[in-house]
Structure 1
Amino acid sequence: MSATSPAPLVDEPYRQSADEIIAILETRRQSGLSRTEAAWRLAHYGRNELDAVPPRPQWLKFLDQFTDVLVLLLLVAAMVSAAIWLQERDTALPYEALAIFAIVILNALMGYIQEARAEQAAAALRQMSATHSTVIRDGDRRSIPAAELVPGDIVLIAEGNTIPADARLIESTSLQTVEAALTGESLPVSKDIAVLSGTPELGDQHNMVFSGTAAVYGHGSAVVTATGMRTAMGRIAGMLEKAPDEITPLQRELGRVGKTLAVTVVLIALAMIGTIFLVSDIHGFAEIFDVLILGVALAVAAVPEGLPAVVTAVLSLGMQRMAKNKAIIRRLAAVETLGSATVIASDKTGTLTRNEMTVRRVVTASGSANLSGTGYAPHGDIEFVGSPSPDAPLQLELMRALTAAERANNAVLQERNGNWTVQGDPTEGALLVAARKAGLFPEALDARFARVGEVPFSSERKLMSTVHTDAEQSERLIAVTKGAPDILLARCTRELVGRDAVALTEARRAEIMASNDALAHEALRTLAVAFRSLPAEHADHGAFAEDVEHDLVFLGLIGLIDPPRQEAREAVARAQSAGIRCIMITGDHPVTAAIIAAELGIISDGRAVTGAELAAMTEAELDRTVREVCVYARVNPEHKLGIVKALQRGGETVAMTGDGVNDAPALKAADIGVAMGITGTDVSKEAADLVLADDNFATIVAAVEEGRAIFANIRKFLRYLLSSNIGEVMTMFFGILLADVIGLASTAASGIALPLLATQILWINLVTDGAPALALGIDPADEDGMHRPPRPRGEGVITGQMWAGIFLVGAIMAVGTLFVLDAALPGGLIEGSGTLAYGRTMAFTTLVMFQLFNVFNARSDDRSAFHGLFTNRWLWSAVVLSLLLHAFVVYTPLLQQAFSTVGLGAGDWLFCAAVSSSVLWLRELSKIMMAPADVPNGQYDRSPLR
């Protein structure tokens, strides 16, 4: 597809009827396109996507690795070194120049590979979280990626869906969409199927829906008229700027740390260069150049300029692991926030429970009936309490109640290869299954009660109604309503008893609510059903409003069961042990909610607060309530938002689940918005940070654990990189200052007394900061990660305790390296007998091994390095690889000349290893000394069970 926006396939579809559009596009209203035809059109018209910004060529991405100022200085230094060699010809090859150039190239390759992996991980995540659409193909409903839609597809639109393409409406039941993205109009626009005349503006094309807008009420179906760049959104895509790359708070903080460290190291390098000029007898340009290149090399080695790429790679790889475990992260920042979550506020149905709704009992005026069977297979028996005869009033009432439940329903029950599934709401699916168990089949009901209108469900009304013709009594229409028992009963004036509708007395209302409470005490979710007759002249199709939900005839109560998930019970306990408080928020009866919450271990006192009670509270009362109460029932989305804000006012970091359109504000307000991947609407998914592919509470807790592990790993490689780099800086700085004391000055052949050369510093940076640091980034999660309290809100990625450990390790490295250097050289505090090349090789090797021992220290600030020592095989592989690479530098003749090294004996290696291992033992000792007192049992338990 071209970015110049090709002409639409159908010119002005709003001016033609739906049937005319269907004929033009050669599709079918009931069966849609065939899969073969859809595949051909997809190949012909292209994917339903806006043209992307052309990807940056790979060679340019590689060149980007050389744009850093310090790297450019190194390249200049390599060229100057080569020029000096050409003038002096003191060696067979320009070894120093070649070594610097090779290290710069290898560093660039590492950075390029890290960024490429991060991009691949991000692309995979975008594919996982791609929007899907429900279409009719070959006569079946199916969910397909929105990118695979083609002109002529019949799309089904429900409340909460994002409209996937431009389409002409075929059916509209109170459908309203928000088109602010296209027109700037914030209020919902009502949609209908009437043909328009003239040339109305985009916002006035009421029989069209447009790509990128959202359905916020009602439902309908439409035939796709334009996809991709042919849509209205595509035609303005050229005016949209490319969205900037997302920068997370963690990356911003690391950027600040990196800049601070860069300034500090540059100042230290300048001070060191100045010190060298003051204390050394320097002659000629070559020696001056050696001093300057040393300063640049030290700055390059000490400044972790690759941190952003490493952090992005670790975050992205962690997000991929989460996605494989059914938790799809939509925003990088959520990974950081997950680790500090202190409250998880979850819906009940489908998240804490199995979402396998089954009707267990129906209660009517004359008694009750129990239904057997589980799941969506329509197999089971009906047991009438009291065993009435076939013509008894109870059986008639049961059939009327289940007929109403089946008609006021938008779900579809499907059977494929013996497996029964529900397309739509699980509760509505359970009602369809119950009706079939009673012998009520959709074909017969459709023939008599054809739907002519609907008043869609609203979370504010807690009701849903449909209007039908009656083939046996053509002079009337029938409106059937289902919803929350207390809400629906208030709108009823009569009750069906046998064949008669009798007036509802206050005593009878009290009996019905007592029955409702009894069902709730059995952990059954309850719905009520009712109906009323309307005159036939009321049949202004599709124009029915809430006024049909009054003067109703009460039919009965329906009790459904949705058992708690076993894994949710375990996840609640795991969250509580991690100091995370679990809250249940549901629209169910408070007694039902309290029973399920108690089974899951969320509460023990049976207390539940209702939405009505929340609405009557002052802000101060609400703040106090959310600190004490863990179960909220009969709530609407506005109450959810209030709960989130109250928890945040109390300093909590809140993860909140939601699935409906009206949940979007609460999901956005929460620190971590969690949308349901199966039952959630597109609007809720767009507002969320995390999407659960399995709608399972246990997946949220697993995501929190993974978030903690990712953040911990970022701290691990930060601890490792910074302590190692500071060790290099201290070694060079104090080595120059103490050159006379350690015998370095007297051994130096020229006026420059350097403990290590620039090429050696760069090599240490390459072999120890590369593979080992990345291996730390994929370290397995700590066993005790979920037995610690959440990270305090606002705590930095590098804490004071971390900085103390970093500087302690750096100091140990510097002291040990200079000790080995002193012991290898004649003079100084410890008499040695080696040459300067030997002494530098020993110091070089010691500093490398120091850092490889330190990688095990860096796994924790307070836990022993020997705990779980062999759990990360990649870490051991990285350490072995680094040692082998260093051995090549020590023993290969060409590399010996490039890095000014000499071969070492076995005793030398043992001496270097013994000294460098001191960082392990001394850090172990410091961990013991700085360990806090034992935490009393239960200190981190934030649940009300304590």
Structure 2
Amino acid sequence: MHAKIPWERLEGLLGTDEGLSEAEAGLRRARHGRNDIVEAAPPTWWMLARDTLRDPMLWFLLGTAALFTWLGDRVEAVILLVAVVPLVGMDAYLHRRTQASTQGLASRLASSARVLRDGVWRTLPAGELVPGDLVELAAGEAIPADALVEAGDGMQVDESMLSGESLPVPKRPYRRGPEGAAPAHWVAAGTRLLAGTARLRIACTGAETLYGEIVRLAVQGTQARTPLQQAITRLVGTLLVVALAICVLLAGIRLAQGHGLVDALLSAVTLAVAALPEEFPVVFTFFLGAGVYRLARRQALVRRAVAVENIGRISCICSDKTGTMTEGRLALVHRQPATGGDGEALARLAGRACRADSGDPLDAAILALGGPQGADAPLRVHPFTEARRRETLVWADGPDAAVAVTKGAPETVLALCAMPDAERAEWRARVAGHADAGHKVIAVASRALPSFEAGAGEPDAGFAFAGLLVFADPLRPGVREAARACAEAGIRVLMVTGDHPGTARAIAREAGLGSGDPRVATMADLGPGDEALAEVDVVARAVPAQKLELVQRLQRQGEIVAVTGDGVNDAPALQAADIGIAMGGSGSQSSREVAAIVLLDDNFRTIVGAIAEGRQLFRNLQSSFAYLLMVHLPLVLSAAIVPLAGQPLLYLPIHIVWLELLIHPTALLVFQDPPPEGRMAPAGHGRRASFFGRREWAVILLAGLAVTVAVLLAYGSGVASGDEVRARTLALATLVLASTAITAILSRLASRTARVIALGSLASLVFLVQEPALAGWLHLQPLALRDWAIVSAGALASASPALLFAAHARRGGRLHPAAAPSRRLR
């Protein structure tokens, strides 16, 4: 599970029952730090105060309250000061939401651990653990740090938090050298021992743990400024200049119309706050943080926040085969014994041609089939070489006899065996069929020897053919479904492998690439032009250095390219790709450092899941921004048009506060849909995809103008009756109802949060308007049933253009931001 085990920290400790002394632990703590996997956050009250003080709405409330106090209108001043309470309350709630993911992760960690120090077992806070500590766990206890299993019995570990695996994972004690460490020997912080007992040797603590890296990236990923964030900042700056100019113009016109200085100042300030687009950067930052966390839950660690912007725009994935689309191990798929033999005997015989200490994964796979070969050592070993292409072991077979067992390339072994030519040709045809299917085939044979020949050279004839063992690197579960999802979403998958074209074609066919009939080529076949590359599903016989050329050629064709890599030689391609994806389990340190995303499980399915999450994230962000534009446009236009026409102020400061208290939580919390199961949101391709297309902008403007007309008509009907307060109430009610209708249309009220906020908006409208005391404080008045009918009809009719936007988005309209990566992800 861990990418790299720091063996030097465990030197002299593995395989012993020794713990550390307090002095040694202190030295190691000074070198590696405390085991604080989730660092203590600054005081919540201070962070809340800091964020609240940055909110311009707070200063608007305090400033206008001071203005009304100076004018002697203390009731209005008190109302504005009271409005600070829900504002701070909302900030506190949203602040809590941004901290919830980290705190949720922290709740899964161990608070204490039983550790051996100075030869005595004692219970210490988990933060005191250091690399090298020996820890004991009982069933039900959380694992306090990343560690190797030294001893244990019946161990079953819940790894669902890190791997997503719902079933318990068995673990076993570590018994071999560094080259033999396996995930079954490793446990990680954030997981839990469900059954059995375990004794662990701590290897990584604090931020170095896999769990610590998830937490750190989930928090830090929200801090880096991205191209879209910078563009939003420039947009906000531009709008602020425009708003300031309009406010100055409005103040001048109000003075010219004969209104007093206070009216002119209040008109300008109110319009400025209504026009202030502070929600856009707030919403984007909030969604970006949610994206980092949600991708981490999908086993994709985001090392650069800009990846969250671009991952949903990926149009081509250059994926490794081994370990990414396949499991990266050899598994037996066929046993074909010779006539008169059986598969079990064939596997046991092949095990006698293997060495447990060879380090060859093929030997390990065969020995796992045949079981242990006993305590006796072979009489003679003739190891595999490229020249001989076989390995032969000679074993004693009674007091006066021996047996030589050989395994290797079928053509080599068949040449050693005595058999009719027709039979040999038949076996060679079988071998060719398996090779065409992408399988690795070995042949097994044996020969009885008299004891005096056992110490002689390697026998080279007279063997009895035993049969074939056929191995393959199995396709990972879910890869075929993930490749189908890519095809349906318009994402091209290009498998890049160093394997033989036949092997590559077999795996690609099994994965469903090329609709089951993949087109395979080598780099030599492709030639220098880019045209041939467009027709290829698999590039075989590729070396890592050629990945960079592939990425550049695909980008010249306009593709947004994600590339996977795990070696040092992959670093240039990872840097050049729009999204570089490193393997967290098998990847090198250099590949992880240059990649934008690190996969915890090295699984192709995880890449596709991350793309689906990214696409849905920006579908959500687009809906949120569309809502803000559709609601803010009529708010600003009506706030400016009414006073410019010489009428009294339409919105007073307290009304702006009320509207913002409805708009903020709607934009932040309503549009947070997860990606739909089984399919991926479509996306527009091209390196210059824009956030909104012309059609979307047209619909947004149409909706905003329609709501503006409805608000002004409602206000006009009130003015015609000679009642200024009724006119203001009708206009505000129309705007709030239209905002709620737009929320319902864009969100489809699919989530509980959307339903609660929509109902809350309606409840606040009815309560604040129909309750006479509250309405009087807000300079409003209760409405008659006829008035509500007029307001409802106008609001629903004006919000209807939002239906066009929602329908277009669901049909796969342009959903992604103008990150136009001239500056690519590294």
**Alignment CA distance shift 1:770-1:436 (3 Å):** closer
1:597 aligned partner: 508
> Residue 499 of structure 2 aligns with which residue?
588
| 1:387 aligned onto 2:340 | yes
Aligned equivalents of 2:379 and 2:637: distance in 1? 86
Displacement after TM superposition at 1:648 (Å): 1.9
Give the letter aligned to residue 839 of structure 1.
A
Change (3 A) 1:720 1:244: closer
Determine the structure 2 residue equivalent to 1:435. Answer: 367
Deviation at 1:614, TM superposition (A): 1.8
Q: Any idea what the Cα deviations from partners look like across 1:162-186, whole Å, max 9, x if unmatched? A: xxxxxxxx9899xxxxxxxxxxxxx
**Do the aligned residues in 2 keep the contact of 1:653 with 1:671 (CA within 8 Å)?**
yes
Letter in 2 for 1:268: I
Distance apart, 1:405 and its partner CA: 6.7
* Cα displacement (A) at 1:432: 2.1
Query: Superposed, which structure 2 residues align to 1:405-804 within 5 Å?
Result: 406-409=356-359, 428=361, 431-438=363-370, 441=372, 444=375, 517-525=432-440, 559-564=470-475, 567-603=478-514, 609=520, 613-614=522-523, 620-621=528-529, 623-680=530-587, 684-739=591-646, 744=647, 753-767=648-662, 769-781=663-675, 786=680, 788-804=682-698
Indicate how the Cα distance of structure 1 residues 149 and 917 shifts in structure 2: closer, same or farther if over 3 A, else same: closer
Q: Any idea what the Cα deviations from partners look like across 1:513-537, whole Å, max 9, x if unmatched?
A: 987643222342458999xxxxxxx
In the TM superposition, residue 762 of structure 1 has moved relative to its aligned partner by 2.6
Partners of 2:810 and 2:611 lie apart in 1 by 26
Partner residue, 2:119 = none
- Structure 2: runs of 5+ lacking an equivalent: 1-6, 110-129, 152-175, 180-200, 209-219, 398-405, 419-423, 446-465, 815-826
Total equivalences in the alignment: 699
Specify which of 823, 832, 842 is matched with residue 721 of structure 2: 832
SS, match of residue 304 in structure 1: coil
The CA distance in 2 between the partners of 1:930 and 1:822, in whole Å, is 35
Q: Residue 850 in 1 paired to residue 803 in 2?
A: no
SS of 1:339's equivalent in the other structure is helix
Q: Counterpart of 1:778 in 2: which secondary structure?
A: coil
What is the CA distance between 1:903 and its match in structure 2?
Answer: 1.6
Change in 2 beyond 3 A, CA 1:313/1:853: same
CA contact (8 A) 2:615 2:681 kept: no
* Residue of 267, 282, 289 corresponding to 2:259: 282
**Counterpart contact for 2:69–2:77, Cα < 8 Å:** no
Instruction: Name the CA distance, whole Å, in 2 between partners of 1:577 and 1:434.
Output: 40
The corresponding residue for 1:83 is 69
| 8 Å CA contact 2:624, 2:668 repeated in 1 | yes
Q: Is the contact made by 1:401 and 1:556 (CA closer than 8 Å) also made in structure 2? A: no
- AA at the equivalent of 1:776: V
Matched, 1:273 2:251: yes
| 1:148 corresponds to | 145
Task: Provide Cα deviations, 1:890-909, integer angstroms capped at 9, x if missing partner.
Answer: 24455334321112222222
SS in 2 for 1:345: strand
Contact 2:221–2:305 at 8 Å: present in 1 too? Answer: no
1:48/1:148 contact within 8 Å kept: no
Paired with 1:323 and 1:226, the residues of 2 have a C-alpha distance of 20
Contact 1:587-1:635 within 8 A present in 2 as well: yes
Map of 1:188-203 to 2, 5 A cutoff?
none
Aligned partner (choices 56, 60, 76) of residue 74 of structure 1: 60
> Where does residue 196 of structure 2 map in the other structure?
none
Deviation of 1:788 (Å)? 3.2
CA RMSD of aligned residues (A): 5.6
Aligned residue for 1:917, secondary structure, equals helix
Output the amino acid matched with 2:680. Answer: M
Q: Distance in 1 between matches of 2:697 and 2:178?
A: 63
Q: Please give the secondary structure, in 2, of the residue aligned with 1:770.
A: helix
Deviations 1:901-937 (A, max 9, x none): 11222222222111111123345479999999999xx
2-structure distance, mates of 1:641, 1:529: 41
**CA distance in structure 1 between the aligned counterparts of 2:806 and 2:149, rounded to whole angstroms:** 68
Superimposed CA distance per residue, residues 349-369 of structure 1 (whole angstroms, 9 cap, x where no aligned partner)? 4543466742245xxxxxxx6
Q: Which amino acid is 1:777 matched to? A: F
Shift of 1:407: 3.6
Q: For 2:788, what is the secondary structure of its paired residue?
A: helix
> What code does the residue aligned with 2:145 have?
E
- Counterpart residue number, 1:812: 706
Change (3 A) 1:77 1:359: same
Q: Structure 1 residue 225: deviation in Å?
A: 11
- 1:312 lines up with 2:206 in the alignment: no
- 3-state SS of paired residue (2:580): strand
Give the Cα separation in 1 of the matches to 2:805 and 2:285. Answer: 32
> Structure 2: how far apart are the matches of 1:148 and 1:225?
8
Tell whether the 8 Å contact from 2:505 to 2:538 is kept in structure 1 after alignment: yes
1:721 shift after superposition: 0.8
Whole-angstrom distance in 2 between the partners of 1:80 and 1:849: 31
**Are the structure 2 counterparts of residues 632 and 789 from structure 1 closer, same or farther at C-alpha, using a change threshold of 3 Å?**
same
For the residue of structure 1 that corresponds to 2:680, the secondary structure is helix
Shift in Å at residue 717 of structure 1? 0.8
Q: What is the identity, as a one-letter code, of the residue corresponding to 2:439?
A: L
2:785 paired with 1:906: yes
Contact residue 47 and residue 228 of structure 1 kept, 8 A: yes
Q: Does 1:100 align with 2:80?
A: yes
Verify the 8 A CA contact 2:592 2:598 in the aligned structure 1. Answer: yes
Q: Secondary structure at the match of 1:632?
A: strand
| Cα distance in 1 between the residues matched to 2:394 and 2:78 | 88
| Contact 1:449/1:470, CA 8 A, preserved across alignment | yes
Q: Per the alignment, do residues 69 and 264 of structure 1 end up closer, same or farther by CA in structure 2, a change over 3 Å counting?
A: farther
Task: Name the residue aligned to 2:817.
Answer: none
TM-score, structure 1 as length reference:
0.62
| One-letter identity of the residue aligned with 2:259 | I
State whether residues 346 and 467 of structure 2, in contact with CA within 8 Å, keep that contact through their aligned partners in structure 1. Answer: no
Change (3 A) 1:598 1:265: same
Q: Which letter does structure 2 place at the counterpart of 1:437?
A: L
Distance 1:49 1:639, change over 3 A: farther
- Specify whether residues 736 and 229 from structure 1 end up closer, same or farther in structure 2 by C-alpha distance, changes over 3 A only: closer
Counterpart Cα distance in 2 of 1:851 and 1:558: 68
Q: What is the SS of the residue equivalent to 2:278?
A: coil
**2 CA distance for matches of 1:723 and 1:498?**
81
1:654 to partner: Cα distance: 1.5
Q: In the aligned structure 2, how far is the partner of 1:724 from the partner of 1:104?
A: 23
- Distance in 1 between residues matched to 2:206 and 2:751, nearest whole Å: 46
For residues 713 and 812 of structure 2, the distance between their equivalents in structure 1, rounded to whole angstroms, comes to 35
Gapped regions of structure 1 (runs ≥ 5): 1-12, 155-169, 174-222, 231-241, 362-368, 371-383, 411-427, 456-460, 473-480, 501-508, 531-554, 745-752, 826-830, 860-868, 936-946
1:823 aligns with 2:717: yes
Q: Secondary structure of the residue that 1:705 maps to in structure 2?
A: helix
Q: Deviations over 1:207-226 (max 9, x none)?
A: xxxxxxxxxxxxxxxx9999
> In 2, distance between residues paired with 1:264 and 1:353?
56
Q: For residue 15 of structure 2, what is the amino acid of its counterpart?
A: Q
Asked if the contact 1:821/1:843 (under 8 Å) is kept, the reply is yes
TM-fit CA distance, 1:840: 0.9
* CA–CA separation in structure 1 for the residues paired with 2:226 and 2:246: 30
| 1:795-835 per-position Cα deviation (integer Å, ceiling 9, x unaligned) | 3334443333332222212211111111112xxxxx424x2
Percent sequence identity over aligned pairs: 28
Matched, 1:30 2:15: yes
| One-letter amino acid of the counterpart of residue 263, structure 1 | V
SS of structure 1 residue aligned to 2:499:
coil
Q: Secondary structure at the match of 1:674?
A: strand
Does structure 2 retain, via aligned residues, the 8 Å contact 1:401–1:529? Answer: no
1:330-372 Cα shifts (integer Å, max 9, x gaps): 44322221211101222334543466742245xxxxxxx63xx
